Structures are given as structure tokens and as C-alpha cells.
Amino acid sequence: MAEGSTTSDSQPRTALVTGGSGGIGRAIARRLSADGFSVAVHYMGNADKAAEVVREITGTGGQAIAVSGDVADEAAMVRLFDEVEAAFGGIDVVINTAGVMVLSTVVDLDLDELDRMHRTNIRGSFVVSQLAAQRLRSGGALVNVSTSQTRMQHPTYAPYAASKAAVEALTPVLARELRGRDITVNAIAPGPTATPLFLNGKDQEAIDRLAQLAPLERLGTPEDIAEVAAFLAGPSRWINGQVIYPNGGLA
């Protein structure tokens, strides 16, 4: 699809959700389908989970496909964008939820793990953002995903928060670089959210303690985050170059 092209009134809008087989990505893919989008559900390692999301969407009358690729591999992602455009005619929205989280104190951090995480969270975000900037149709939206840990400063989150701080720096700059294209670029930075990624390795005491941090006294849900992503993907054309913190009032 040529740069700057638009979606016709008769053609459904298309969304690509990276990490779409995971907790937050899955909720976003389902929500965007409910809003009328055709959805490309990206996965890296779990084809079965991605296929489940596709079945959920098509089972309710929506359109969806599963697509695979390493978000940090620019050649693989070019092929993926080509595949989505071939299936649906173009791409209007990219929600970039793919990410890796490594928890460690700074003093004990395995630097190989840092490199692995940064490859996905930083390089992957740049690769996806670059392709979105090149390929999104006019009226489109890119939504990157950060974390409220960039503000909360909890011990053991420094490596992860540092990688997501790069995403927060990238987002408003790209929004300004796309002046005149009618494409919004924003980021969402969730607080503690009840996903398998977040809950992994935490005992019930830790989960309960984290749930009490927010004034609303609960963990977020993937659906809470999907509401914000859907807003930025659709009606919120006057929000641009921002980082939104859906975290129940934590910070």
C-alpha cells in the first residue's frame, strides 16, 4: 500500500497487534475486532495461542489472521507487513505490545539477559515503529507499549524500566516527525496488570501486596488496557505524542 493512502468507506480498518497472543495483546486484538477492525495477530513462539485468538475473533464474525516474526528482525517484519497488507489491503493501526521482561537488581543483572530484553523491547520497538511510519495509511495510529515502572522505581525493575524508557523517548519524537501525515503516535504504560507475564514467579502474598498499591485496590486487567489502546486506535485523533499511564492512580 502506497504511503499516504487512505481507507475507503466500504473497507474495514485493519490493525496489526504485535504480541497479540499474549495477555494484553490478546485483549487488544479482541477489542479492536469488536470495534470493527480486521486484525492481524502477531506471535513469536506460540502458534497455538495465536490460533486461539484468531478462532475467538472469527467465531464472533470478525476477520483475523495469525502472523509470525521476530520484531527485532527488520527483514522478517517487512515480510510480515507485506503479508498483512496482502490479506487486508493495507494497515491502519499498529499496536506494539511485544516485549520481554527480565527482573533483577542492577548489581546481580546478567548482561546477556539485558541484551536479550533490549533487543526485543528497544530494537523491536524501533523496527515496528519504523515500518508503521512507512506503511500506515492516512488517519492511522501507532501505539507502543511501555510500563508504569518507568515512574514507580521499584527494585528489580531497573533493567525492564530502562528498556521501556527508550520506548517512551521514541514515541513523541516520531509523532513530530510524522507531521502532515495524519498519523498519531502514542504509548500506553500500564501499571501492574494480571497477565501471565506479570504473575509469573510471584507468590500470592506479592500479588496481593501489589494489588493494594493503587487507590482502586486491585490489579489492572488486560481489558482495562485494551480500552485505552482502542481509544488511541480509533476516536482519539487529538491525542498525539503522549504517554498514557493506565494504572489505577499509582503514579
Q: What is the CATH number of the domain that holds 127?
A: 3.40.50.720
HEC per residue, the chain: CCCCCCCCCCCCCEEEEECCCCHHHHHHHHHHHHCCCEEEEEECCCHHHHHHHHHHHHHCCCCEEEEECCCCCHHHHHHHHHHHHHHHCCCCEEEECCCCCCCCCCCCCCHHHHHHHHHHHHHHHHHHHHHHHHHCCCCCEEEEECCCHHHHCCCCCHHHHHHHHHHHHHHHHHHHHCCCCCCEEEEECCCCECCHHHHCCCCHHHHHHHHCCCCCCCCECHHHHHHHHHHHHCCCCCCCCCEECCCCCCC
> Given this model, what pLDDT does residue 7 score?
52
Q: Is residue 5 part of a domain?
A: no
Write down the catalytic residue from 43, 157, 160, 245.
Answer: 160
Report if residue 249 sits inside a domain.
Answer: no
Residue 160 designated active-site: yes
Is 210 within the bounds of a domain? no
Q: Please give the residue range of the domain that contains residue 101.
A: 14-192+222-244
The pLDDT tens digits of the residues spanning 140-150 come to 999 999 999 99
Q: Is residue 108 part of a domain?
A: yes
Structural domains of the chain, count: 1
Q: Please check whether residue 211 lies inside any domain of the structure.
A: no
Asked if residue 87 is part of any domain, the answer here is yes
pLDDT at res. 9: 53
Q: Is residue 49 included in any domain, yes or no?
A: yes
Q: What is the mean pLDDT of the chain?
A: 93
User: pLDDT tens, 24-37?
Assistant: 999 999 999 999 99
Is residue 200 one of the residues assigned to a domain?
no
What global pTM score does this model have? 0.92
Average pLDDT over residues 13-40: 97
pLDDT at 1: 41
Over range 207-236, report the average pLDDT: 93
Whether the pLDDT of residue 11 is over 80: the answer is no
What percentage of the chain has pLDDT greater than the value 90? 84
